[in-house]
């Protein structure tokens, strides 16, 4: 019996040590210590052996039983810990990765240069008492054309061809639609700016995109003149470029202003010598503007006999190009990370 007990002990301890999971450990426990386990059967059979042997064999059996139980406990602990560790290693997520240092700089996003300048412009106008307004990119014919003194038959519609939806709406061609919406919301006197994305059916080149950004502005008060307009435009450009920029005002035709102007700035890419952006002219058309046409005021519910105003539509892409010396407008929508990383 002593030999048999020794063999059970040796086999059980070796099997426990080799067990790779807790299910196997449980099988070993049943095999040796269960109700019909090898060691249990020996303990039960002690009554059949001579009394002089019984005490020694009983003591030995209990000692081996304790040893096996302790080994089972120790190995179960080890396996549980290893299991938890590998689970953590496999499924652990560093939830702090994106919000606190150390995060590699290049992993962080940044504002697109157009958004940066848009926010700068909003701040400049807010400091001059303007409110910021918004409007939808898909517009109705009324807001984009009709209410701006461009009826269906008007040839000025050809200047701004666009993408139409099947239900007769269109992708807005300019942010001027925002000034029409603003006139419905606020009563004079008021000052509003409306930044946004606009769309035109247009072939692209270094200074033309089919999708670009504008900022619309409108001020309505009593006795507004061209002098007010020029003052605000010059203040804006001085703040943006942080220096005096040469500008020129030419007559320009827009059905919604009278008189209308084209405000050009001296090309900052070539210093006025001529390049592909300024089409070799030395000037870049940036800011068309004028005094709001009485028809537009009237359609907006404002009495032109009492109120007058100026309006402008600033081309944001071209402004950003001038500010940062970008020589091709197509970079903005290229999605080229090397371009975007510079800002
Ligand atoms: C207009 O869109 C008028 N709504 C602006 C306006 C508002 C005039 C209020 C008077 C009063 P224009 O089509 O010229 O005008 O566009 C305005 C500016 O948007 C241009 O000076 C130019 O900077 C920019 N722009 C026009 N077309 C493109 C284009 N295809 N790609 C990039 N920028 C453009």
Q: How far is the CA of 146 from the centre of ligand 1 (A)?
A: 18
pLDDT score of 98: 62
Q: How many residues are present in the chain?
A: 343
Residue of minimum CA distance from atom 21 in ligand 1: 286
Which of the four pLDDT bands, split at 50, 70 and 90, describes residue 104? Answer: low
Q: What average pLDDT does the structure give for the chain? A: 91
> Cα separation of 60 and 9, whole Å?
10
Question: What integer is the mean pLDDT of 80-86?
Answer: 86
Relative to the CA of 289, which ligand 1 atom is closest? 10
> Peptide bond before 257: cis, by omega within 30 degrees of 0?
no
Residue of minimum CA distance from atom 5 in ligand 1: 313
Q: Is the pLDDT of residue 137 over 80?
A: yes
Q: How far is the CA of 174 from the centre of ligand 1 (A)?
A: 7
Which of the four pLDDT bands, split at 50, 70 and 90, describes residue 140? Answer: very high
Q: How far is the CA of 250 from the centre of ligand 1 (A)?
A: 14
pLDDT score of 32: 92
Q: How far is the CA of 320 from the centre of ligand 1 (A)?
A: 14
pLDDT score of 5: 87
Question: What integer is the mean pLDDT of 181-196?
Answer: 97
Q: Which of these, 73, 55, 75, 64, lies nearest to 7 by C-alpha position?
A: 64
pLDDT score of 262: 94
> Cα separation of 13 and 11, whole Å?
6
pLDDT score of 43: 84
pLDDT score of 97: 66
pLDDT score of 42: 85
Residues 249-301: tens digit of each pLDDT: 999 999 999 999 999 988 888 888 999 888 899 998 889 999 999 999 999 99
Domain boundaries, the chain: 2-99, 113-340
pLDDT score of 100: 59
Residues 194-205: tens digit of each pLDDT: 999 999 999 999
Relative to the CA of 217, which ligand 1 atom is closest? 9
Taking domain 113-340, whether its CATH number is 3.30.9.10 is answered by no
Residue of minimum CA distance from atom 26 in ligand 1: 315
% pLDDT > 90, the chain:
66
Q: Is the pLDDT of residue 216 over 90?
A: yes
Q: Is the pLDDT of residue 11 over 70?
A: yes
Which of the four pLDDT bands, split at 50, 70 and 90, describes residue 105? Answer: low
Residues 28-78: tens digit of each pLDDT: 999 999 989 888 888 888 888 888 888 888 888 889 999 999 999 999 999
Ligand 1 binding pocket, CB closer than 6 Å: 174, 176, 200, 202, 208-209, 212, 214, 254, 257, 260, 285-286, 288-290, 311-313, 315, 317-318, 329
Q: Is the pLDDT of residue 106 over 80?
A: no
Which of the four pLDDT bands, split at 50, 70 and 90, describes residue 99? Answer: low
Relative to the CA of 210, which ligand 1 atom is closest? 30
Residues 307-323: tens digit of each pLDDT: 999 999 999 999 999 88
Neighbours of 70 (CB within 10 A): 12
> Cα separation of 251 and 249, whole Å?
7
Question: What integer is the mean pLDDT of 156-168?
Answer: 91
Helices (H), the chain: 2-18, 22-33, 38-45, 51-91, 113-127, 141-144, 176-185, 226-241, 294-299, 316-324, 337-340
């Amino acid at each position: 019996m002593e030999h048999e007990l020794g063999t059970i002990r040796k086999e059980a301890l070796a099997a426990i040590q080799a067990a790779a999971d807790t299910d196997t450990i449980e099988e070993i426990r049943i095999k040796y210590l269960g109700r019909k386990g090898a060691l249990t059967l020996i303990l039960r059979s002690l009554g059949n052996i001579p009394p002089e042997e019984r005490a020694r064999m009983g003591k030995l059996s209990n000692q081996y039983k304790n040893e096996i139980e302790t080994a089972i406990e120790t190995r179960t602990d080890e396996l549980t810990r290893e299991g938890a560790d590998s689970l953590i290693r496999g499924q652990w997520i560093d939830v702090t990765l994106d919000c606190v240092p150390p995060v590699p700089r290049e992993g962080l996003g940044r504002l697109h240069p157009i958004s940066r300048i848009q926010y700068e412009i909003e701040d400049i106008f807010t400091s001059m008492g303007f409110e910021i307004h918004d409007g939808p990119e898909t517009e109705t014919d009324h807001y984009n054309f009709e209410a701006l003194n461009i009826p269906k038959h008007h040839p000025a519609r050809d200047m701004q061809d666009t993408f139409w939806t099947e239900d007769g709406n269109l992708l807005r061609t300019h942010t001027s639609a925002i000034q029409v919406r603003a006139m419905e919301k606020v009563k004079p006197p008021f000052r509003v700016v409306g930044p946004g994305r606009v769309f035109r059916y247009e072939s692209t080149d270094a200074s033309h995109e089919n999708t670009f950004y504008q900022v619309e502005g409108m001020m309505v008060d009593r006795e507004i003149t061209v002098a007010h307009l020029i003052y605000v435009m010059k203040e804006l450009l001085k703040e943006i470029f942080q220096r005096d920029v040469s500008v020129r005002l030419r007559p320009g035709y827009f059905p919604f202003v009278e008189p209308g102007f084209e405000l050009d700035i001296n090309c900052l890419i070539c210093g006025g010598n001529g390049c592909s952006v300024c089409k070799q002219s030395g000037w870049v058309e940036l800011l068309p503007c004028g005094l709001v046409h009485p028809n537009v005021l009237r359609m907006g519910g404002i009495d032109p006999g009492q109120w007058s105003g100026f309006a402008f539509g600033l081309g944001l892409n071209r402004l950003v190009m001038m500010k940062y010396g970008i020589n091709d407008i197509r970079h903005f929508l290229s999605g080229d990370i090397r371009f975007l990383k510079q800002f």
